[in-house]
């Protein structure tokens, strides 16, 4: 029994080490931020440049998890919850099959809120989760995750990890 417990503890420690080693840091020089990707399955598919201002990432393929990072310049004093409400009212509610989810406070290296929602794309149940992170009094970064509803729900720990690792350079 002692050998089994020792083996399980060793396996757990080794597994944790492998996860930590496989993390990658992505840095956007044009937008002035960096974030950590939790595994090599996550990869950048477009980087910010003159033609495409924003970085995009996928978790294997777009249906498993798709991330768009957007820098929003807002009026002075606009809070992340205000931007989240505006996006829900002006953009998201027009998605086919839109169902509004919860808005929750979020804290990482930057403070903000998250909004979850469901919608339908090509007949498939999809989910979205947006992290609105306050960079300064006039800048909010929006990390927009989408994917199949069951797939995105399963990687919530990874989306939280990416958002918590997000920092300004």
pLDDT of 82-104, one tens digit each? Answer: 999 999 999 999 999 999 999 99
Full domain range(s) for residue 46: 23-168
Whether 15 is in a domain gets the answer no
pLDDT tens for residues 95-150? 999 999 999 999 999 999 999 999 999 999 999 999 999 999 999 999 999 999 99
How many domains are contained in the chain?
A: 1
Q: Compute how many other C-beta atoms are within 10 angstroms of the C-beta atom of residue 91.
A: 9
pLDDT tens for residues 18-58? 444 468 999 988 888 999 999 999 999 876 555 556 789 99
Looking at every residue in the chain, the average pLDDT score rounds to: 88
Is 90 exceeded by the pLDDT of residue 66? yes
Whether 16 is in a domain gets the answer no
Whether 1 is in a domain gets the answer no
Whether 5 is in a domain gets the answer no
Where does 23-161 show beta strands of DSSP type E?
24-28, 33-37, 42-46, 56-59, 61-73, 99-107, 111-121, 124-136, 139-148
Cα→Cα distances 99→9, 120, 127, Å: 43, 10, 9
pLDDT of 22 reads 64
């Amino acid at each position: 029994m002692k050998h089994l417990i020792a083996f399980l503890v060793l396996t757990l420690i080794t597994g944790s080490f492998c996860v930590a080693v496989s993390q990658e840091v992505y840095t956007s020089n044009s937008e002035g931020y960096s974030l950590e990707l939790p595994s090599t399955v996550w990869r950048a598919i477009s980087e910010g440049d003159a033609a495409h201002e924003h970085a995009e990432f996928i978790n294997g393929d777009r249906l498993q998890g798709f991330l768009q990072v957007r820098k929003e310049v807002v009026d002075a004093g606009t809070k992340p919850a205000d931007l989240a409400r505006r996006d829900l009212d002006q953009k998201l509610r027009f998605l086919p099959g839109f169902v509004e989810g919860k808005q929750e406070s979020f804290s990482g290296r930057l403070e903000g809120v998250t909004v979850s929602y469901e919608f339908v794309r090509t007949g498939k149940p999809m989910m979205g989760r947006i992290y609105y992170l306050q960079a300064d009094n006039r800048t909010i970064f929006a990390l927009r995750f989408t994917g199949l509803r069951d797939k995105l729900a399963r990687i919530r720990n990874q989306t939280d990890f990416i958002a918590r690792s997000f920092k300004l350079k």
